[in-house]
Structure 1
Amino acid sequence: MQMLQAPDAVVMIRPHHFCSNPETRDDNAFQTLSNRSADATSEAALAEFDTAVARLRKAGVIVHVFDDTGTDTPDSVFPNNWFSTHTGGHVAIYPMFAPNRRMERRSDVIEMLKRDYRVQDVIDYSGLEQDGLALEGTGAMVLDHIGRIAYTVQSNRADPVLLERFCTHFNYEPIAFRARDAQGRDVYHTNVLMGIGTDYALVCLDMIIDPDRRRTVAERLEQSGRQVIDLSHAQIGEFAGNAMELTGTTRVLALSSRALRSLTPQQVEIIDKSAQPLPLDIPTIETAGGSVRCMLAGIHLTRRTERTPS
């Protein structure tokens, strides 16, 4: 039960041509422009990535690394948007909103999952891009794998019809809501304001516009036995909601260094009871509008062989 929410293995994509994606800036308010050259930005992101992988592996997490060799996929470092995995051997492949993000999907990742893990079926929704539909994986949805709930911010990255279809296929209950930041801008992905661990949940309830939906989200999280850590708008701006619980030698909460610095001692104390915070220093990568959670595609599948480092 404990590993259901906190997988012990992840897929990460090593970026060789990282930059802040021009095709996603219109609706991703978390993106910023680097004042360094393209080469310097790419080099810094690569170094941050490699250090993050090393820290995760040192903590006992299995990390499957794939190199991105293309030059037209600036957001490839965020693979959680184009596929997800689920207990029982199920894999989903998602349609993406920005055209250049659609090129991030790659068959070698899926083939590795089939080879090293028990995969029963792969449901590919990506063809629905031709109908103008998008559902950007565990960026658009924050999944309670234990309670089987898909918390989803309504946006152009999460089509409601496709959300219902996913929930029917994968046995989740959809809870959708609108959310805005302190400046009144619509939130583009759910995982910037919410992260669910085994015993606690990080969420900025103030960003949920409708009071009834806000109350519903809080109640459902509490009913699942989790302690709700209510984040502020300022903490969301530091990516405090963009965190992921993993199982290594102990249970850890992977989040960025700036995210951890923004948390209060009382909030960290709640996390400490269940998981050890594992801060990763990724300031360059965060200019793309995503943080640690976005970099991690969790593997919720049964391994075919014993644990081995990738």
Structure 2
Amino acid sequence: MVPPNDFGFNPETAQDNEFQQKTEAPHYLIKESALEEFTLMVNQLRDHHVEVLLLNKHHGDPDMPDAVFPNNWFCTRHNGNIDLFPMKTSNRRAEVRPEALKKLLSHNGYQITDVNDYRDSKGAFLEGTGAMIFDHRHTKAYAALSERCDSHLLAEYNKQRGYDTVSFNSSSTQDKAFYHTNVMMSVGEQFAVICLESIKDQQQRAAVETSLKQDQKHIIEISLEQAEKHFCANLIQLRNLKNEPLIVLSESAYHGFSKEQRQKLEAHGKLVPCDIHTIETIGGGSARCMIAENFLPKQ
């Protein structure tokens, strides 16, 4: 996780992220609030026996208003590899700090075999696990195509990784492409939360449903309102140091689910709702975006 030291409204990403909301509050108060929310979330995760490594800002680093969402620029693999992804906006590209990341992981006893850099993409973008929802158990990647998820890069990356790609078009109430797949979909070990009504093409929708059912995923369907107003899809299932399953989500998402939906989710792990209202409202991303999983092997 990355502390939101420069947090604020990002006009560059707002071009295609319709969930960012500008506020008249002073910048220093926004930043203070975001840092407080972040610290409380980190403490909550640690209280639930999750190892949290913090990638801090170093002297000389540029302003990075969206640094709190690190899952977009890198992911880790069981084989010791780190993959770096091409980001759409210039001020988000500044977040990509492979040397600092390697140092942090190595210092904490993780083995890094190789770093695969996919950033030389000639104007095409693929924003990590924002763009791709991995089902590692069944070696699949689900992806809603957008300006931040190029179809050719997507296919090439997953072919190299040995994953099947299930791609589709997904759009909001305003008929705009969702900027990231993880705003309308998440996949856990045995469940999927998904806004199927955002997939307007009936064949694409059927293909996604069929794929999930083939892998015996328990589908928890949410509405466009739940996805857009409450970030109900932007959650993540983790296993803590005791190998217990947890589902991390925002308080907004927790309250946005119906009682029945919450009960279905709870069958797959203890729910850990975090109060990240400022980060959600101004940043346009939620709990899943704030966490980059660590699959690297211990040295």
Same fold (TM over 0.5): yes
Q: CA RMSD in A?
A: 1.2
Mapping 1:220-239, distance limit 5 Å: 220-237=211-228, 238-239=230-231
Deviations 1:73-121, CA, capped at 9 Å, x for gaps:
1000000000001222222100100011000011211233345222222
Identical pairs, percent? 36
Is 2:34 the counterpart of 1:40? Answer: no
Contact 2:66 2:92 (8 Å CA) reproduced: yes
Unaligned runs of 5+ residues in structure 2 are: none
Amino acid at match of 1:53: V
Query: 2:290 pairs with 288, 295, 298, which one?
Result: 295
Contact 2:62 2:94 (8 Å CA) reproduced: no
Amino acid at match of 2:277: P
Contact 1:60 1:247 (8 Å CA) reproduced: no
Query: Could you say which residue in structure 1 is the equivalent of 2:102?
Result: 110
Contact 1:90 1:120 (8 Å CA) reproduced: yes
User: CA–CA distance in 2 between the matches of 1:17 and 1:112?
Assistant: 20
Query: Could you say which residue in structure 2 is the equivalent of 1:8?
Result: none
Mapping 1:159-238, distance limit 5 Å: 159-237=150-228, 238=230
User: CA–CA distance in 1 between the matches of 2:216 and 2:81?
Assistant: 26
Contact 2:55 2:104 (8 Å CA) reproduced: no
SS of 1:175 mapped into structure 2: strand
Amino acid at match of 2:16: D
**After the TM superposition, which of the residue ranges 95-104 and 248-257 deviates more from structure 2?**
248-257
User: CA–CA distance in 2 between the matches of 1:111 and 1:163?
Assistant: 28
Query: 1:270 pairs with 264, 269, 273, which one?
Result: 264
Per-residue deviation at 1:35? 2.7
Query: Could you say which residue in structure 1 is the equivalent of 2:119?
Result: 126
Contact 1:91 1:119 (8 Å CA) reproduced: yes
Q: How many residues align?
A: 291
Query: TM-score, normalised to structure 1's length?
Result: 0.91
User: CA–CA distance in 2 between the matches of 1:111 and 1:164?
Assistant: 31
User: CA–CA distance in 2 between the matches of 1:87 and 1:219?
Assistant: 28
Per-residue deviation at 1:17? 1.4
Unaligned runs of 5+ residues in structure 1 are: 1-11, 305-310
Mapping 1:11-50, distance limit 5 Å: 12-50=1-39
Amino acid at match of 2:131: A
Per-residue deviation at 1:228? 0.3
User: CA–CA distance in 2 between the matches of 1:67 and 1:91?
Assistant: 18
Amino acid at match of 2:37: E
SS of 1:25 mapped into structure 2: helix
Query: TM-score, normalised to structure 2's length?
Result: 0.94
User: CA–CA distance in 2 between the matches of 1:18 and 1:112?
Assistant: 22
User: CA–CA distance in 2 between the matches of 1:113 and 1:160?
Assistant: 31
SS of 2:17 mapped into structure 1: coil
Is 2:235 the counterpart of 1:253? Answer: no
User: CA–CA distance in 2 between the matches of 1:209 and 1:177?
Assistant: 9
Higher relative contact order (CA closer than 8 Å, sequence separation 6+) = 1
